[in-house]
Amino acid sequence: MAERLISLSGGAGNVLEAIHCTTRLRLRLRESSRVDEAGVSGIPEVQGVFLRAGQLQIILGSGNVFKVHRQVVRILQEGEGKQQPEGTSELSQKNRPEHQGVLKHIADAVSFFSDIVVPMIPLFVGVGLLLGLLSMMEVFGWAPRDSVSFRTLSLLTGSAFQMLAVMFGYHTAKRFGGTPPLGAVIGIIMTHPDLLRVTGSGGAQESSADVLIAPQFGYQGAVIPTILAVLVMTLIEKGLRRILPSSTSVMLIPFLSLVSGGAIAILAIGPLTSELSASLGSMLELVFRSGGTVFGLLLGGIYSSLVVSGLHHGIQAIEIGLITNPDISINFLLPIWSMANIAQGAAGLAVYARTRDQALRKIALPASITAFFGITEPVAFGVNLKLGRPFLGAAAGGAAGGAYVAFHQVAADSFGLTGIPMIAFIVQLGQMNVIHYVTGFLLAAATAFVVTWVLGVDERQAFGTKKHRRIT
């Protein structure tokens, strides 16, 4: 399958990079015009295909994506070793064909954040579950704060939060063509407890006990600051490579890049983005408190479209800022986001219940079930978006559920999974918080199911066309 996907994507020479998320294989391409989308879509194991901004996204499902990605990387590495003589990598990078035009640059700027976050989705999920488990231990009294089990889990959670920023720095540097280990160091800098106190704006020093009890505070909402700081350092590094002789580049460039980029991060980017992040979080909280119903209606309705475009990962940076802001300390975005995901699953169930196409039913049922556990790509891309009308039904369900949970100010104390597993993140905030979340869950699912059923399912729009392509 990996060989076939590479061939239909224009060959190994057309694939610049292969990454994956929970369900999608993402191939960054030299030339999008060389892709045979019909051929890729015709592969039985492929649940959906999406081409945007020079990146081909192939929905394979959680069972296949890891295996296929591993083989794709192996094939590309073998092809690179055979076709590229030693010492020519820099030259090939310089001569790499690029699409020109303002639109291409805008599309690249929009998609880069998704490229950085996608490889870290498993880490996001793991960190969210760790924090949820830690919160439940504290709320339900499963273990005292000074117990070995609580302190061990807290240390693990705090380390995972710091690793998030390290990986953001690493992947940002890689994405912009810098040195990834230097980007990882910037990630450590941007999450260091002494970062803001260096400039005299960090307040009192946190004790080790405080960090253990609330490990997410050490993270400081550093996603966007880390990306900005690494971007600046990468630009400095590239500039130095152009002006310094190659004989001194091995020693001087890493040193000068890290010193100058790190200084800018500590003295300018850290304090500035801290203030901006706090202001943005406060503004969102104000909008949520004063007009939460409309806010939830809009976000719940459009969130699935953000998932399709890959822009939804940017919301996670805001979520982290809300949780780590001592004046807010809750996540009121995640319940709304969850309603949209639940609605996708319910719309998929409506497709399963109404269609008589056995191939479509075989895909729709398992894809819908995974959506209720927070993974929506299979049903969104493989069923609802292909058919069109179910995607509209899911948007209606997300809007209804989002408006409800926002009106009742349902909140979570973490980020990560949505759907059914998210109950672990809301139970700590009270019984009514859980009741309104479950009610919103049912409202979103029922609305999406009914609207999808009323709009109808025309499987010929996607699956009939696919079968016809195979015959011809």
SS3 29: strand
Cα 340 off chain centre by: 15
Q: Following CA atoms 423, 162, 307, 386 in sequence, which dihedral angle do they give, to the nearest 10 degrees?
A: -90
Catalytic residue among 21, 184, 347, 387: 21
Looking up tokens 């019984």, which residue turns up? 431
| Residue 268: partners with Cβ closer than 8 Å, 6 or more residues away | none
DSSP three-state, residue 294:
helix
CA atoms within 13 A on the CB side of 353: 14
3-class SS of residue 16:
strand
Of the candidates 29, 14, 11, the one whose C-alpha atom is nearest the C-alpha of residue 108 is 29
- CB 175: neighbour CB atoms within 10 A? 22
Contact 36, 70 (CB under 8 A): no
Report the C-alpha gap between 1 and 43 in whole angstroms: 9
Q: Which residues contact 220 (CB under 8 A, 6 or more apart)?
A: 190, 191, 195, 196, 274, 324
DSSP three-state, residue 257: helix
For the question of residue 21 being annotated catalytic, the response is yes
- C-alpha 163/C-alpha 130 separation (Å) is 13
Kindly list the catalytic residues. Answer: 21
